[in-house]
Amino acid sequence: MKRLSHVLGLVAALWVSTAVAMVPELPELPVRGHILVDFHSGRVLSEHNSRQRLEPASITKIMSAYLFYQRLDNGLLSLDDQVPVSRNAYQTIGSRMFIEVGSLVSVKDLLRGVVIQSGNDATVALAEYIAGSEAAFAQLMNATASELGMQDSHFVNSTGLPDPQHYTTASDIAILARALIREFPEYYQLYSERSFTYNNIEQHNRNRLLWRDPSVDGMKTGHTSSAGYCLVSSAQRDNRRLIAVVLGAERVSDRFEASQQLLNYGFGHFETYQLYTAGQVLTDVRLWKGEKSVLPLGFIEDTFVTLPKGRYDDMRAGLRINARVEAPVFRGDAFGSVLIRLDDQEIATIPLVALQDVALGGWFGRFTDRVLLTVTGLFN
């Protein structure tokens, strides 16, 4: 079920985003690229160079953490596992958790070292524990990026240390952040912790927005001299959640100011509504050559739309359904879409999917349907 939810979430991330009248544009922000996305609907509310390949620095650790959480979720990793610290992990340059070479450190502590302290040493230790080497772990990162639909990302290490072949985009990072929050809410809570003490050394979360804005509850900072200052932030106000990604700020303060400006803009000018509930049947279609002749179409997940404030009554929805649907059919297969329009602009396209599996019917039923389809084709 999580896999199906994940796939549908990717589709939501590709919804159409179109500027709508009545909403002012943001002024130019002092970053190389940014994107602002509504978590529930997937709608892009603001973007600039969002598909330009840029260095992510320690934003990379969101992908590393996603893989760690996957393995915790499927039982291949435990919070109580004791991870040996290799010399390679101990000697990794950059931000550190200050683990000691040859020591054993629990996964629980290492995760906090990754998320809160942005420890490169902690990240490499976990990567090696899972995949045997950091290079092998990077292969897992790239495979996962492909599964998530991150089409413009490539990773060569688990930490975000500079490399010409290590890059991503603001858009891809937003897809990743949505997936992590949606699939692993119990682990996402780590991103709101403000400090962590290990080896008698207390270090504070570098995300200053956790102190500035009470609605912000994550996610991750990043910085190298070549990548600039980066930040992924997420905030929840009145049951709405927004995700802002800024990459390549020249000053540390710029990444926080730009992120705060994005979040305030999104919450101030837009609102999100739930249109349909999980399992809701919107329509039925004729199914050919199947065990059943009628296929219900609807939504596997709760479905949302984001609109400019005060425009809900102006919204119009229409259906587009495949002209011909044939068995076999699998739950979650898309056979149409709901088109959401506002002011003659299409602002969202929501997949309309099969709500059940339907196998091929018997030979006589398939033969009969084939004849009917042929006759129908002749008259149409």
Residue 206 within any structural domain of the chain? yes
Left if phi > 0, otherwise alpha if psi is -120 to 50, otherwise beta: which for 307? beta
Same domain, 92 and 209: yes
**Is residue 68 assigned to a domain?**
yes
Whether 174 shows a pLDDT value over 90: the answer reads yes
Quickly tell me which residue has 């004849």 as its tokens: 371
Q: What's the pLDDT at 14? A: 37
Catalytic residue among 86, 118, 153, 259: 118
Determine the average pLDDT of the residues in 13-21: 40
Whether the predicted pLDDT of 15 surpasses 60: no
**Quick one: 199 and 291 in the same domain?**
no
**What's the pLDDT tens digit per position in 25-72?**
899 999 999 999 999 999 999 999 999 999 999 999 999 999 999 999
Q: Tell me: do 281 and 214 sit in the same domain.
A: no
Q: Are residues 20 and 131 in the same domain?
A: yes
**CA 107 to chain CA centroid, nearest Å:** 24
**DSSP track, 55-106:** --GGGHHHHHHHHHHHHHHTTSS-TTPEEE--HHHHT--SS---PPTT-EEE
How many distinct structural domains can be found in the chain? Answer: 2
Average pLDDT, the chain: 92
Among 171, 188, 219, which residue terminates a domain? 219
Q: What is the pLDDT averaged over residues 135-160?
A: 98
pLDDT of 347: 87
Residues 167, 305, single domain; the answer is: no
Identify whether residues 329 and 205 lie together within a single domain.
no
Residue 6: the pLDDT is: 41
Please tell me the predicted confidence (pLDDT) of residue 92. 97
Residues 209 and 285 in one domain: no
Q: What is the DSSP string of 170-204?
A: HHHHHHHHHHHHHH-HHHHGGGG--EEEETTEEEE
CATH at residue 346: 2.60.410.10
Assigned domain for 158 exists: yes
Kindly tell me if the per-residue pLDDT of 179 is higher than 80. Answer: yes
Residue 128's CATH number: 3.40.710.10
Task: Please state the rounded mean pLDDT for residues 6-27.
Answer: 53
Query: For the residues 200-217, what does the mean pLDDT come to?
Result: 97
Say if residue 210 is in the same domain as residue 282: no
Q: What range defines the domain where residue 177 resides?
A: 2-30+52-219
The pTM of the whole model exceeds 0.85: yes
pLDDT at residue 118 is higher than 90: yes
Task: Please tell me whether residues 71 and 177 are part of one structural domain.
Answer: yes
Q: Are residues 108 and 203 in the same domain?
A: yes
Predicted pLDDT at 310: 93
| Residue 43 placed within a domain | no
Looking at residue 4, its pLDDT comes to: 41
Residue 58 is among the residues annotated as catalytic for this protein: yes
Catalytic entry in 17, 41, 50, 58: 58
Tens digit of each residue's pLDDT (9 = 90 or more) over 272-312: 999 999 999 999 999 988 899 999 999 999 999 999 999 99
Of 194, 219, 244, the residue at which a domain comes to its end is 219
Q: Is 2 among the catalytic positions?
A: no
Catalytic residue of the set 17, 41, 50, 61: 61
Q: Which of 219, 247, 263 is the last residue of a domain?
A: 219
Q: Would residue 332 count as lying in a domain?
A: yes
Which of 207-211, 234-238, 313-317, 342-346 comes out lowest in average pLDDT?
A: 342-346
Does 61 qualify as catalytic in the annotation? yes
